[in-house]
Amino acid sequence: MSTATTTHGPVERLRGIVPDAEIAAITPLIEEIEELKVRRNAVVLAHNYMTPDIFHGVSDLKGDSLALAKMAAETDADVIVMAGVHFMAETAKIVNEQKTVLIPDLEAGCSLADAVTGADVRLLRERYPGVPVVTYVNTSAEVKAESDICCTSSNAVQVVESLGAERVIFLPDQYLGRWVASQTDVDVILWEGSCMVHERFTAEELRAYRALNPGIQIIAHPECPQDVLAEADFVGSTSGMINWAKTERPRQLVMVTECSMSDNVAAEVPETEFIRPCNLCPYMKLITLQKIRDSLLEMKHEVHVEPEIAARARIAVERMLAVQI
């Protein structure tokens, strides 16, 4: 699920979301980014974990990993600035090779992408001959290239079931893999990877929120451990969680995920009180307005994927995009 930014100007969109004094301070930077976007024929794609100044301000399109991949494949712009992490920028390059893809900070990685290598996938294939490999998009292009199909948190169950196999290898997130296994009859072979942000939530803290706030609703991302997900009223991708909040509009809500999500959605659901356990993704938070401006000004940091790897990775990503959800 993606959201196109509204027709209001970027500064106007921040009113009521970001304090007025802060808006005044960042307005020159936002104007510079808008001018550069026109000059470069560029779009800024923003993940749901970006801070509100980026998410509501300078982004042209925003969403979860699946939406960002689709938007990158479809854009007419010459330049894509990925306000997200490196695997998202690499995926954009894989699906739209002729575009220039920029990531504002090269250090914006992901603990899941670091958890598995192409060599690991080759070894798994030797160990489980004939078993298809389903790979979360939170991986390097090299890992995608060794995989049969990719998935995201919003389509993982449908992707696994689309293969018609009795068993699949699921990489690299053990918790998302366990969540998928709980939703399907397919036998799921897991890997040991985890998200450094979501694995820190505990079932105990969620029970404490419930005890203190009767009637509170809890929604969680499937990268969380199983006992945490067992406490949740809804489990879904980042966009799935945002949509749930906008539809259900509960009196009190805990979003068990990266904490910028609550900041971004709170303005659109004013009647809901957000209780915010604040786990930040240190990689997502490397992306700032200043770095987006610099990336457009100096055309840095351009993301390259070796053509032979990109061609194989594209097959796995496009197979995923063809799965109906």
For position 96 contacting ligand 13P by CB under 6 A, the verdict is: no
The closest alpha carbon to 262, from 252, 231, 212, 247, belongs to 252
For position 66 contacting ligand SF4 by CB under 6 A, the verdict is: no
The string of DSSP letters for 10-44 reads: HHHHTBTTB-HHHHHHHHHHHHHHHHHHHHHTEEE
Residue 218 in tokens: 């809890």
Subset of residues 24 to 63 that bind ligand 13P, contact rule: CB under 6 A? 48
For position 258 contacting ligand SF4 by CB under 6 A, the verdict is: yes
**Are 277 and 259 contacting, i.e. CB atoms less than 8 angstroms apart?**
yes
Longest dimension (CA), the chain: 60
One of 91, 111, 238, 295 touching ligand 13P (CB under 6 A): 238
Smallest gap from Cβ 48 to ligand 13P, in A, equals 6
For position 174 contacting ligand 13P by CB under 6 A, the verdict is: no
Q: Token pair 């004013």 is at which residue?
A: 270
Of these partners, ligand 13P, ligand SF4, none, which one is at the site of residue 153 (CB under 5 to 8 Å by kind)?
ligand 13P
For position 152 contacting ligand 13P by CB under 6 A, the verdict is: yes
For position 195 contacting ligand 13P by CB under 6 A, the verdict is: yes
Q: 79's torsion region: left (phi>0), alpha (psi -120 to 50) or beta?
A: beta
- How many alpha carbons fall within 13 Å on the CB side of residue 17? 23
For position 90 contacting ligand 13P by CB under 6 A, the verdict is: no
Strand runs labelled E in 167-324: 167-171, 187-189, 217-220, 234-235, 252-256, 273-275
**In whole angstroms, how far apart are CA 232 and each of 156, 185, 207, 252, 294?**
18, 22, 10, 14, 40
Of these partners, ligand SF4, ligand 13P, none, which one is at the site of residue 196 (CB under 5 to 8 Å by kind)?
ligand SF4
One of 101, 112, 149, 254 touching ligand SF4 (CB under 6 A): 112
Smallest gap from Cβ 143 to ligand SF4, in A, equals 14
For position 237 contacting ligand 13P by CB under 6 A, the verdict is: yes
Of these partners, ligand 13P, ligand SF4, none, which one is at the site of residue 111 (CB under 5 to 8 Å by kind)?
ligand SF4
Subset of residues 91 to 110 that bind ligand SF4, contact rule: CB under 6 A? 110
Smallest gap from Cβ 39 to ligand SF4, in A, equals 30
Q: Token pair 């995009």 is at which residue?
A: 321
Rounded distance between C-alpha atoms, residue 238 and residue 324, angstroms: 19
The CA R_g of the chain, rounded to the nearest whole Å, is 19
For position 85 contacting ligand SF4 by CB under 6 A, the verdict is: yes
One of 196, 259, 315, 323 touching ligand SF4 (CB under 6 A): 196
For position 115 contacting ligand SF4 by CB under 6 A, the verdict is: no
Of these partners, ligand SF4, ligand 13P, none, which one is at the site of residue 242 (CB under 5 to 8 Å by kind)?
none
Of these partners, ligand SF4, ligand 13P, none, which one is at the site of residue 135 (CB under 5 to 8 Å by kind)?
none
Q: How far is CA 219 from the centre of its chain?
A: 16
| C-beta atoms surrounding 303 within 10 Å | 21
Q: Which residues bind ligand SF4 (CB under 6 A)?
A: 85, 110-112, 138, 195-197, 223, 258, 281, 283-284
